[in-house]
A and B are shown apart, each in its own frame.
Chain A
């Protein structure tokens, strides 16, 4: 049986770990509240863009646009949004799992654009090629960050260096439920837009194709922006849950150690007593 001093030392160490995880949980809770509001603010913009693209595609019939055209090849680009810091449970792992679930063979055809150090580290270890890193984007996402990533993938696509662009991020369902998702960005899936109901004919200036030319990049950017914001909210949510269970585990351990400590104390008292009694007996 471990000595009293050992048990005490362990208990103190678990206690201080518990304090840290509890503090981290509180910090994440506060950050989550802010990130959640910010994630919701991006939705009206996205919805409107979505509706406009839908109505252009719907009303102008068979529109030909390079960004809508499916390509044959299988060179894939992934934008991977993870966090810069760990201790967030399965948050980073789940996103990366989606990538190597999809790409069984690691080869030159797969390009990774990483936002978040953790995801970039995990994928590097697996042998993926990281083309560029945008780690600042996941601290406090700004529209400029989304714009930079968006420009990069649009250029890759236009220069015919990739055939499909995906974005892997963590969707924010609620504070306790986040879901790693993968979504296709390019080429746009025209089929996605068909549910929208268009109520009136619309004129376009300069013309429908020109407008579409302007709007599609904005649509891409707004998806990236939304994904960044949702991922940040999810990161804090995931960290909050992870730290909550860590704190609970620490408390359980402290209870167990307290019991062990008391037992050891009791045992040592009993032993001392019996030694004294034994000694007194011997003197008789």
Chain B
């Protein structure tokens, strides 16, 4: 049994996840990052992306949208604006949102701020990524 640490994922609405885990991977603004037990203390900001939690040789996946993570030796706290389990994601809606965001960012409509378009594109992409990830898994 590998060393475990406490992982808390908190969103403004609820405590999303709270358990002992072996490893967690998520997407920071600087790139993907994986955390094991006894990591150096680090606070970093998150962007929209998949988070993969490893616990007892099992994988748990979720999408996190923005926020930041505080990593300590024995615990990791992720504060995210929003978090979703794969079961919360509507595949068709996510794909439609992605297409919409892509057209918007190409057309550069003036009344919509670019930052917002980018953020919604990132969110939609993260959702689609997660769905694809699960598809590839089941094909293996």
Judged by a CB distance under 8 angstroms, whether B137 is at the interface is no
Specify which chain B residues have a CB less than 8 angstroms from the CB of A200 in the assembled complex: 41, 72
**B68 contacts A211, CB within 8 Å?**
yes
Which residues of chain A have C-beta atoms less than 8 A from B15's C-beta? 44
Q: B41 to A202, Cβ gap below 8 A? A: yes
**B28 interface hit (Cβ, 8 Å):** yes
Distance between Cα atoms of A200 and B13 in the complex (Å):
29
Q: A41-B14, A48-B10 are in contact. Are A211 and B72 (CB under 8 A)?
A: no
Number of chain A residues close to chain B: CB under 8 A? 25
| Distance of A215 Cα from B67 Cα, bound (Å) | 8
Instruction: Let me know if B43 and A202 touch, CB within 8 A.
Output: yes
Within 8 A of A (CB), among B1-40: 10-15, 28-30, 40
Residues of chain B in range 49-81 having any CB-CB distance to chain A below 8 Å: 67-68, 70, 72, 77, 79, 81
Q: Can you list 7 residue pairs at the A/B interface with Cβ under 8 Å?
A: A42-B12, A48-B79, A206-B29, A211-B43, A215-B68, A218-B79, A218-B81
10 nearest interchain CB pairs? Answer: A205-B44, A214-B45, A143-B12, A203-B42, A202-B41, A45-B12, A45-B10, A204-B43, A44-B10, A41-B14
B97 interface residue, CB < 8 Å from A?
A: no
Majority-rule SS of B interface residues: strand
In the bound complex, what is the Cα–Cα distance between A210 and B40 (angstroms)?
19
Known contacts A143-B13, A200-B41, A210-B45; 6 additional CB pairs below 8 A are A52-B43, A52-B79, A204-B42, A204-B44, A206-B29, A211-B44
